[in-house]
Amino acid sequence: MAAYTFFTNPMSRGQIARWALHEAGVDYEQVLVPWDNKPPALLAANPMGKVPTLIHHSETGDKVITECAAICAYLGEAHPEAGLGPSADEAADYYRWLFFAAGPVEQAIITRSMGWEVPKEREMMVGWGSYERTIAALEGHFEGNNYVCGHRFTMADVYVGSQVDWGLTFGSIAPTEAFVAYAERLQARPAYKAAKAIDHQLIEESRK
40-86 pLDDT, tens digit each: 999 999 999 999 999 999 999 999 999 999 999 999 999 999 999 99
Residue 110, number of CB atoms within 10 A of its CB: 11
Instruction: For CATH 1.20.1050.10, list the domain ranges present in the chain.
Output: 91-189
Q: Name the class of domain 4-83+192-206.
A: alpha beta
What average pLDDT does this structure show over 94-105?
A: 98
Asked if residues 7 and 33 have their Cβ atoms less than 8 Å apart, the reply is yes
Instruction: For CATH 3.40.30.10, list the domain ranges present in the chain.
Output: 4-83+192-206
Helices then strands, counting H and E runs in the chain, come out as 9, 4
Reported pTM? 0.96
Q: CATH number for 91-189: choose from 3.40.50.1980, 3.40.50.1820, 1.20.1050.10, 1.20.140.10.
A: 1.20.1050.10
Give how far Cα 96 sits from Cα of 72, 92, 100, 108, 171, Å.
14, 6, 6, 17, 25
Q: How far apart are CA 178 and CA 103, in angstroms?
A: 21
32: left (phi over 0), alpha (psi -120 to 50) or beta: beta
